[in-house]
Amino acid sequence: MNAATVVALLHLCFTATAAVSREKSSQMEIKVEPGDTVQLQCCPSGVTQASVAWSKNGAEITFPPPQQQSPPGGRLSLRQEGSLSISPVTPEDAGIYLCNCTVPRESSSQTRLLLQVERVPVTHPDCALVPSSDPTQAIFNCSWLGAVPLPTLSWSGKGSVLVTANMTDSLLLTLNASQVSHGETVTCTARHELLSPSDGRFCSLTLKLPYPEGTPLVSALEGSNISLTCSETSSFPIASTSWRKGLQQDLIRPGSKYVFSGTNPNFQLTIVNVSKEDEGIYFCRSENLLGVRELEISLTVKAASSAYTGAIIGVFLAVLILGSVGIVAKMVYLNRHRICLDGGFTQMEENGDVLSLVESDEEQFYRDAVPQLPPISNDRQTTLVQIHSIPSSDQDDAEKNEATTQLPEDTEEAAEEPEDLVVF
C-alpha cells in the first residue's frame, strides 16, 4: 500500500468521525393554546440551503407546491428555511413532530418536538361508581378527559382531602363501612393551570342507605302461583338484594319452587304451586356498605274451597238485600194513601174542633137559623152560639157509658143547658 492510499483512508475516517460528531438530535416541548400561531424550527440557525422532511406521530407530512396551496400558504405551510408554520392551532395539531434537516456536503440533523395544545374541557369531571363484588366497600372513579396538560384530581369528604394525584385524568377512591355514613357527600375536584382558583370544576356523590319497598301483606289460593315484589331505588352505592324466608331468614335460592325475575332495582320472587307450607314471612333484604334494610312480607295461603264459600255467601247477601228493598217498596206503595193523608186528618181529629167559614152573602140565612136572645138595653141583638166539640172515639165510648148510667132527668137537664154562650 502506497502513501497516497493511506492518506485517502485516513481522510475518510476523519470525515466520517466529523460527520458523526456534527450529527445531532434534540427534543423540545412547546405549549400553545387553540387559535394561536406556532412555528416549529428544524435546521440550525443560519442554514438556508437545506433539505427537510417533517413527520407527525410517525406519519410523513406532505406539502403541496406554493402555487397549488389554497389559501396561499395554507394552515400548515413549509417556510423557506425549513420550519413548519401552523396557523391557527387546533387541538388536533397536538403530537410529536420529527424533522430531518440535510445540508449539502454536510451532516444531517434531526429535531424532535412535542407540541401540546393546552385546553380545558368545558364540562365538569365525571364521578361514577365502579362495580365491586364486596358489599362492605365502595370504589368511586373520577375522570376528566381532554385536558392538556393533564390536571390535578383530588377526592375529599367531611372537609378533608381523602386522596389526590397530579398529572392524571382519572382517580380512584376506595371506601369501607367505617369511613362513611348515611347522607355523607364525597367530592372530586379538578385543577388546571389554565383555570383560576375561583373557576372550580367538580362532581359529587351522596351516600344513602338502602330502602326496599313493596306490598307487606299478600294472600294466595292454594295451588296457584304467587309473586312477591320488591323495589330498591334509593341506595348509593347500589345495594345487593336477596330473598329470605322465616324468622331465621334462610336464604332462598332459585329453583323449580322459587323463580327469580326482574332487573335491578325491581326484584320479583315467584312461588310455584303455593301450599300451606309456603305460608309465613318473607324478607327482601338489601345491603350496601352503609348498612342493611329489609322489607317484611307476610304471605297467607287460603284453601280453594273457602273462595267458593265466600262467593256463595256474597251472592246470598246480595239477593237478600235486594229482596228486602223490594218488599219495603211494595208496602209503601200499597199504603201510599194513608201515608199521604194521615198527617192532616189525624191532626184535625186529635184537636177535635171544626172550623166553619161562612160567605158574606149567606150570613142572613145563618142569622135566621141561629136562636136570638132578647135585646139588651143598648138595643143591639145578641146571638146565641153553641160551640160543640167533636169527641174522639174514646170520648164517645165514655160518654155512652155515662149516658146509660145517668138518670133520665139528668139527661134532660144536660140537654137544656148550652155548653157556652157567646154574645155579639
What is the CATH classification number for the domain harbouring 298?
2.60.40.10
Domain end, chosen from 302, 330, 351, is at 302
Sign of CA dihedral 371, 374, 380, 386: negative
Q: Do 293 and 309 share a domain, yes or no?
A: no
Looking at the fold, whether 248 and 272 belong to one and the same domain comes out as yes
* Together in a domain, 297 and 317: no
Residue 354 lies in a domain: no
Residues 225, 280, single domain; the answer is yes
Spatial neighbors of 31 by CB under 8 A, at least 6 apart, are 116, 118, 149
User: 144-156: string of b/e by CB count within 10 Å (b at 16+)?
Assistant: beebbeebbbbbb
Residue 193 and residue 130 share a domain? yes
Helix axis angle for 304-334 and 336-351, nearest 10°, is 50
142 with 200, same domain? yes
- On whether the pTM is more than 0.95, the answer is no
Q: Is residue 18 domain-resident?
A: no
Is 231 inside any structural domain?
yes
Same domain? For 105 and 134 the reply is no
313 and 387 fall within a common domain: no
Cis peptide before 391 (omega within 30 of 0): no
Sheet holding 291-302, edge to edge: 217-221, 291-302, 280-288, 240-245, 250-251
Q: Is residue 319 part of a domain?
A: yes
What is the span of the domain harbouring residue 144? Answer: 126-206
Does residue 16 belong to any structural domain of this protein? no
Q: How far apart are CA 54 and CA 85, in angstroms?
A: 12
In a domain, 7, yes or no: no
HSE of 390, CA atoms in CB hemisphere, 13 A: 8
Residue 4 domain-assigned (yes or no)? no
Examine the fold and report which residue of 152, 182, 206 is the final residue of a domain before the chain moves on: 206
How many domains in the chain?
A: 5
**Whether 169 and 95 share a structural domain:** no
Asked whether residue 229 falls in the same domain as residue 297, the answer is yes
User: What confidence score (pLDDT) does residue 328 get?
Assistant: 85
In the prediction, which pLDDT does 174 show? 93
- Residue 348 resides in a domain: no
Residues near 132 by beta carbon (within 8 Å), at least 6 away in sequence: 138, 139, 237
**How high is the mean pLDDT in each 10-residue block of the chain (424 residues)?**
39 39 60 88 78 89 64 72 87 89 80 89 92 84 91 92 94 90 94 87 94 94 94 90 94 94 90 94 93 95 71 78 85 74 49 47 52 53 49 51 47 44 44
Domain boundary among 206, 230, 250: 206
pLDDT of residue 108: 79
CA distance 43 to 83: 7
